Structure 1
Amino acid sequence: MTINYRAEVDKRKDAMMEDLFSLLRINSERDDSKADKEHPFGPGPVKALEHFLAMAERDGYKTRNIDNYAGDFEFGQGDEVLGIFAHLDVVPAGSGWDTDPYEPTIKDGKLYARGSSDDKGPTMAAYYALKIIKELGLPTSKKVRFIVGTDEESGWGDMDYYFANNGLKDPDFGFAPDAEFPIINGEKGNITEYLHFAGENSGAFKLLSFTGGLRENMVPESATAVFTSDSNLADLQEKLNAFVAEEPVTAELSDDKGQFSLTVYGKSAHGMSPFAGINGATFLAKFLNQFDFDGAAKDYLRIAGEVLHEDFYAKNLGLAIVDEKMGELTMNAGVFAFDAASEDNTIALNFRYPQGTDAQTLKAGLDKLQGPSKVSLSEHEHTPHYVPMEDELVSTLLAVYERQTGLKGHEQIIGGGTFGRLLKRGVAFGAMFPGYTNTMHQANEFADVEDLYRAAAIYAEAIYELIK
């Protein structure tokens, strides 16, 4: 039986896009200020989860909501289980959008919305792929479990809870539609480490606060410092104008009765590719370093503006490492929080590291820094993950990709972390194609509409090849 999967997708294009639009309209950013027992990551992720499960029930699946952390449904028959892991949460929209990030807009074939490429668009492509198999009544020898999480962009608390409380055996193998084609069969390790500083400071300049960054896995698009000074606004503005003329940033400076507020604007990017962004926080610190700060503030600004500034590979920290298969370690200085009244101010450093090092080795290097009072580690660490090319999961997915596209498949290893690594035999598969413009975690995030349809066809054939 020969199936034209692309033709089957085309029959459902309008319905797929309608369902995707309804999901994209839900602001599913994590909001800890509104988190409670019923909303572990805030109301937005729960709303998206409930919406998705209602859609699945509409289509005839028996769904489960695992205490608003995650949800799933199953399809097919058999002892072995293919897991499809997607996520419904998104990173904060931030500023700089040309459209409303939560009102999907198609322009020149591109679908603009927060989550369009990461990960609601690919999630819907995979969902409709399974829907095709179900509606065609194709026979299966294995089950599919479609699992959606609500905390992928932060601490993966959703999957920790899901695996501990869902009551079923883990899937035997699986993929996450949350990266790119032809396949991601290797992922670097991922750990966030925190530099801690005291807050008391004095001098001709006194730092009252320094804030920047929305998530540890995002390059800070902007940062703001509030400080007092014996200088005047005109002198500071002149120095700022000269700085901005030489650097790829913009800035705003104001004075409120001797209390200055300075914001520097850069460009956000995904934390796995810090070199693709412009870190507003480290540029802000670089500018402030020329002034007479003292104490903890001086250390904080020196570390941020000199040591960490554009140190994407942690060379200044003495932590640079390159692995032949997995490539180089990268570091994103992602979240900055300084308050003069606090005794515990932090800089969050998100490391994506290859084989050959580990979190404790990185910490030992950071412990040597002069200035921070201590170094601590995130509770959540992902060690390097790799599924060999000869694994049947990898070879099957690549064969389908090659048939559908006419392009040669090959392995890829990334610094990003996907739910593919939740299983020993787990990978990321699509939905972005070679040569795509990566706008994940950035303003004006988009997915190419035609690429979503192409991905759905690939997913449909791939799922069926794995479970037939």
Structure 2
Amino acid sequence: MGYDWQQAVTAHRDELLADLKAMLRIKSVRNERQATPDAPLGPGPQQALDHFLALGTRDGFKTKNVDGMAGHIEFGTGNETLGILGHVDVMPAGDGWSHAPFDPIIKDGKIYARGAMDDKGPSMAAYYGLKVVKESGLPVTKRVRFILGTDEESSWRGMKYYFAHMPAPDFGFSPDAEFPLINGEKGNVSLKLKFGGTNGGTVMLHQFTAGLRENMVPGNAKATVSGACLDEIEQAFSRFIKTAPVSGKATRTLDRLTLAVTGKAAHGMEPREGINAGTYLATFLKNYDFGGDAAHFITFIVNYLHEASRLEKFGAAFSDPVMGDLTMNAGLLNFTAGQTGSITLNFRYPQGIEPATIRTAIDRVTSQWDAVISVGEAMAPHYVALDDPLVTTLLGVYHRQTGTDAPAEVVGGGTYGRLMKRGVAFGALFPDCPNMMHQVDEYMPVEDIMKAAAIYAESIYELIK
């Protein structure tokens, strides 16, 4: 009779949840404005990394902090190394939460907090999977390194630093996506467009802000205007929010009117899952007489970005039969009168198209307004064959424990799995659970965390026995 991994994990239920709550209380949003030599990505990620590594030390693992940029928890010996790549940083919480985002609560069987699903809940499940493998006393022939990154939600500096200074694992997975398994990830690149900051019409745009990160659909947007017809604009805005799929509020201060819109935040890998508050606000403003760069800024958003995540309005739609559609997320939209306007677009691109092609398509449009485009670092598409033993082993465990035969898939999200040549993303979002990553009131069902931990435990053992 085989080892009962589910029972082994269940025995640690209270301890796992206590450790997870402690991690969730750490506001580990990257903030380099507060960086120090001992906390290169800010105090939050450093505190979270230190805390997680301390768990490993407590439980008898070898641990290593790699210059505050990343760290690992190690088990076993052997010529090959299995890497498990999680992250301790989280997205900014944003507004509109029903509960304090860094004060975790369990309600109706769900644990609520920023990071509950992305990625502290899944990482803790994977850690406890490793812990019960260690406690089982079963013989293993390979080394495991549970590697923790500190800025997965931005530029991956921490994990890239780790891979530059430490030996790369031979194979592995990242518990930072969904089940059953992701064996392919689209490429990822961002373009930043810079406009001037002039006005010129009868209505002036003083400020426009939307978005927290380029890889999030903006859930909130705000614009401040002045000039002619403010009473008319305020009344029209009231009518607009009654018919559009957003909510909003207008606030009058002396000769200025501020319009705030709330849409739905979502992960930027699939913009159709969200409602972009910024592009909706721009569709309202397009009806008024703005001039100069303000007009160009609004026109570009409305004509080319609003509800157009497949680049169809640029004449650049593209799809690959294996990896799916090229997608675009308008993640950051900002304008300040007299200074500058900027728009950051995040693209998830399949095999068969290059970032240069995407830039050319955008440039054909923006060149008419003298907008300047800068291109961020690109991550190429990543794919591991379906018959690779890593894929077949992980899918086999998932199928045995869940009683399903769901296949592997390709997604637009980018995970640490792509840092390993034989790397995949494996859980912990189950198919029947809503995706709450990057969203207000982020949560993960407690039973899903426990199920994931058991799947991880058996998977780790099968890969290193």
Q: Please give the alpha-carbon distance, in whole angstroms, between the structure 1 residues aligned to 2:202 and 2:36.
A: 44
Q: Please give the alpha-carbon distance, in whole angstroms, between the structure 2 residues aligned to 1:127 and 1:372.
A: 51
Q: Please give the alpha-carbon distance, in whole angstroms, between the structure 1 residues aligned to 2:302 and 2:211.
A: 15
Aligned to 1:227: 225
Aligned to 1:358: 354
1:35-80 deviations in Å (ceiling 9; x for gaps): 2333222111111001111111111112111111111121101010
- 8 Å CA contact 2:197–2:337 kept in 1: the answer is yes
Q: Please give the alpha-carbon distance, in whole angstroms, between the structure 1 residues aligned to 2:112 and 2:43.
A: 23
Q: Please give the alpha-carbon distance, in whole angstroms, between the structure 2 residues aligned to 1:16 and 1:85.
A: 19
1:82-93 alignment to 2 at 5 Å? 82-93=82-93
Q: Please give the alpha-carbon distance, in whole angstroms, between the structure 1 residues aligned to 2:125 and 2:179.
A: 14
Q: 1:307, CA displacement in angstroms? A: 1.5
Q: Please give the alpha-carbon distance, in whole angstroms, between the structure 2 residues aligned to 1:329 and 1:123.
A: 29
SS at match of 1:382: coil
Does residue 99 of structure 2 align to residue 99 of structure 1? yes
Aligned to 1:247: 244
**Paired amino acid for 2:358:** L
1:61-80 alignment to 2 at 5 Å? 61-80=61-80
**Paired amino acid for 2:92:** P
**Paired amino acid for 2:237:** L
Q: Please give the alpha-carbon distance, in whole angstroms, between the structure 1 residues aligned to 2:282 and 2:39.
A: 36
Q: 1:372, CA displacement in angstroms? A: 4.8
Structure 1 alignment gaps of length 5 or more: none
Does residue 25 of structure 2 align to residue 28 of structure 1? no
- 8 Å CA contact 2:126–2:175 kept in 1: the answer is yes
Aligned to 2:334: 337
- 8 Å CA contact 1:399–1:409 kept in 2: the answer is no
Q: Please give the alpha-carbon distance, in whole angstroms, between the structure 2 residues aligned to 1:324 and 1:363.
A: 22
Structure 2 alignment gaps of length 5 or more: none
Q: 1:435, CA displacement in angstroms? A: 1.8
Q: Please give the alpha-carbon distance, in whole angstroms, between the structure 1 residues aligned to 2:178 and 2:22.
A: 24
Q: 1:101, CA displacement in angstroms? A: 1.0
Aligned to 1:149: 149
Q: Please give the alpha-carbon distance, in whole angstroms, between the structure 2 residues aligned to 1:373 and 1:133.
A: 55
**Paired amino acid for 1:349:** L
Does residue 199 of structure 2 align to residue 215 of structure 1? no
Does residue 342 of structure 2 align to residue 346 of structure 1? yes
Aligned to 1:319: 316
Q: Please give the alpha-carbon distance, in whole angstroms, between the structure 1 residues aligned to 2:81 and 2:370.
A: 48
Q: Please give the alpha-carbon distance, in whole angstroms, between the structure 2 residues aligned to 1:102 and 1:365.
A: 41
1:5-404 alignment to 2 at 5 Å? 5-166=5-166, 169-232=167-230, 234-342=231-339, 344-369=340-365, 370-378=368-376, 380-404=377-401
- 8 Å CA contact 1:223–1:264 kept in 2: the answer is yes
Count matched residues: 463
- 8 Å CA contact 1:177–1:430 kept in 2: the answer is yes
Q: Please give the alpha-carbon distance, in whole angstroms, between the structure 2 residues aligned to 1:170 and 1:257.
A: 60
- 8 Å CA contact 2:221–2:281 kept in 1: the answer is yes
**Paired amino acid for 2:252:** D
Selected match of 1:446 from 422, 443, 446: 443
Of 117-126 and 246-255, more deviation after overlay is shown by 246-255
Q: 1:467, CA displacement in angstroms? A: 0.3
**TM-score, normalised by the number of residues in structure 1:** 0.97
Q: 1:97, CA displacement in angstroms? A: 1.1
- 8 Å CA contact 2:64–2:72 kept in 1: the answer is yes
**Paired amino acid for 2:172:** G
- 8 Å CA contact 1:188–1:354 kept in 2: the answer is yes
Q: Please give the alpha-carbon distance, in whole angstroms, between the structure 2 residues aligned to 1:196 and 1:384.
A: 27
Q: Please give the alpha-carbon distance, in whole angstroms, between the structure 2 residues aligned to 1:339 and 1:121.
A: 38
- 8 Å CA contact 1:194–1:348 kept in 2: the answer is yes
SS at match of 1:381: coil
Aligned to 2:415: 418
1:414-440 deviations in Å (ceiling 9; x for gaps): 000101111110000011111211111
Q: Please give the alpha-carbon distance, in whole angstroms, between the structure 2 residues aligned to 1:34 and 1:450.
A: 37
